[in-house]
A and B are shown apart, each in its own frame.
Chain A
């Protein structure tokens, strides 16, 4: 499973756009990139998943360059409730989804 590198922490203010970048230089051809959010004392929650280019859903966008060696999670107009740890994972799409190597994650703190 590919190793990922993220910033340990980030601070932002309410209403701002937050971009969290993840490096995964050894990503394999069949690996997908998945981002999770975790609040204290809760299990991780799926945010978004992508393979290449750009993916957007109701909560976030995921930007993946052509070489796929990095990805950027974009959270538009964050609020205080977005304060959490965000994990970037890479792995195969189906069977191994869930068998994941979690890196240190990025602790996002949103301030008023």
Chain B
């Protein structure tokens, strides 16, 4: 079945640095991918829609200059958290639409801890 892979699974970074998270569709092409953030004991919150070959669209309240999204190919979208701060510590998850009766395919998530 279709798989979406995220890398890294977890990352610890110092405050003020930038972190890049990769989301790959392994056996299918995805012109659109979605990025979510999930804080402990909370639900997933959609951050942005990543569009291959064009700018990402961000949900209200999400800083586009802080969360840089690049979708340079049909199989790769990246999320860069710039100038990370401890409040950016969260679980980041990407997804891609399924083409059939499979809903969406989600990555395994990336645990970001900013110290």
B87 at the interface (CB under 8 A from A): no
Nearest Cβ on chain B to A62's Cβ, whole angstroms: 11
Measured between beta carbons, the chain A residues less than 8 angstroms from B32 are 95, 98-99
B43–A104 touching, CB < 8 Å: yes
CB pair A44–B97 under 8 Å, yes or no, is no
Residue numbers in B under 8 Å from A102 (CB-CB) = 36, 43-46
User: Which B residue sits closest to A55, measured CB to CB?
Assistant: B101
Question: Are B109 and A41 in contact, with the CB atoms below 8 A?
Answer: yes
In the complex, the answer to whether A43 meets B95 with C-beta atoms within 8 Å is yes
Closest partner residue, chain A, to B99 (CB atom): A94
How far, in whole Å, are A42 and B105 apart by their CA atoms in the complex?
A: 12
Which chain A positions have C-beta within 8 A of B106? 36, 43-45
Closest to B36 in A: A102
Query: Are the CB atoms of B98 and A98 closer together than 8 Å?
Result: yes
Taking a contact as CB atoms under 8 Å apart, the answer to whether B101 and A49 are in contact is: yes
Interface size, chain B (Cβ < 8 Å): 28
Q: Which residue of B lies closest to A35 (CB)?
A: B103
Kindly identify which residue among B45, B49, B101, B109 contacts A43, using a CB–CB cutoff of 8 Å. Answer: B109
| 26 A-B interface contacts by CB (under 8 A) | A34-B104, A36-B106, A41-B109, A42-B109, A43-B6, A43-B108, A46-B105, A49-B101, A49-B103, A89-B103, A95-B32, A97-B103, A98-B34, A98-B96, A98-B97, A98-B98, A98-B103, A98-B105, A99-B46, A99-B97, A100-B46, A102-B36, A102-B43, A102-B44, A103-B43, A105-B43
**Which residues from chain B sit less than 8 Å from chain A, CB to CB?**
4, 6, 32-34, 36, 43-46, 49, 91, 93, 95-99, 101-109, 111
